[in-house]
Structure 1
Amino acid sequence: MAWFMVIGAGLLEMVWSYSAKQSEGFSRWGWAALTIVSSLISFFLLTFSMKSLPMGTAYAVWTGIGAAGSFAVGIMLLGEPAGAWRLLSAGLIVAGVIGLRLTAGN
């Protein structure tokens, strides 16, 4: 169950980063509210997952999902550049998250 919480928290990282961008500096209240709510839920899910997962692993997976996912959202929805070096760098983040997940019990 803890892994589902970390994954959900990471997905909510993507939501709040996108909604933060859309809030235009918190000047658009609906997007600002979504940013606050999704970030709080993400934080609490991460915190609860740490009851049974190592802190470093949980935090790294949470930020990795959020970072790589937000990177993908930026490319797909915001038209941000997807150059080879940027894609390679995001791939390294994903590889690190997978590695941490596979070695979490060691």
Structure 2
Amino acid sequence: MAWLTLLLAGLLEIVWAYTMKLSEGFTRPLPTAITIAALIASLVLLSLATKVLPLGTAYAVWTGIGAVGAFVVGIVLLGEPLSALRLAAAALIVSGIALMKLASSE
């Protein structure tokens, strides 16, 4: 259950990162409100996951999900460039997340 909670927290991190971009410096009310709500929910879920999972593992996986997710959203929805080097960096992050999961005793 802690891993599912952490996954949801990471997915909400992607939401708030994306809507933060859409908020244009917090000048647009709806994206700003979604950013704040998703950020708070993400942190609450991360907090719940750390009751069971080691802090270092939970935080690394949470930020990794957010980083790779924001990377994908940037390319797919925002038209950001995709290069071999950026793709390799994302692959390394995903590898790190997988290793953290394997290294966890839970």
Report the TM-score when normalising by structure 2.
Answer: 0.98
Instruction: Give matches, 1:58-97, under 5 Å.
Output: 58-97=58-97
Residues 40-98 of structure 1: per-residue CA shift (max 9 Å, x gap): 00000000110110000000000000000000000000000100000000110000001
Aligned to 2:35: 35
Structure 1 vs Structure 2 CA RMSD: 0.9
State how far apart, in whole Å, the 2-side matches of 1:6 and 1:62 are: 7
Question: Any runs of at least 4 consecutive aligned residues in structure 1 with deviations exceeding 2 A, and if so which?
Answer: none
Percent identity of equivalent pairs:
54
Structure 2 residue runs without a partner (length 5+): none
Q: How many residues of Structure 1 are paired with residues of Structure 2 in the alignment?
A: 106
Structure 1 residue runs without a partner (length 5+): none
State how far apart, in whole Å, the 2-side matches of 1:41 and 1:5 are: 11
Equivalent AA in structure 2 for residue 69 of structure 1: G
State how far apart, in whole Å, the 2-side matches of 1:53 and 1:94 are: 19
Report the TM-score when normalising by structure 1.
Answer: 0.98
Aligned to 1:46: 46
State how far apart, in whole Å, the 2-side matches of 1:98 and 1:12 are: 19
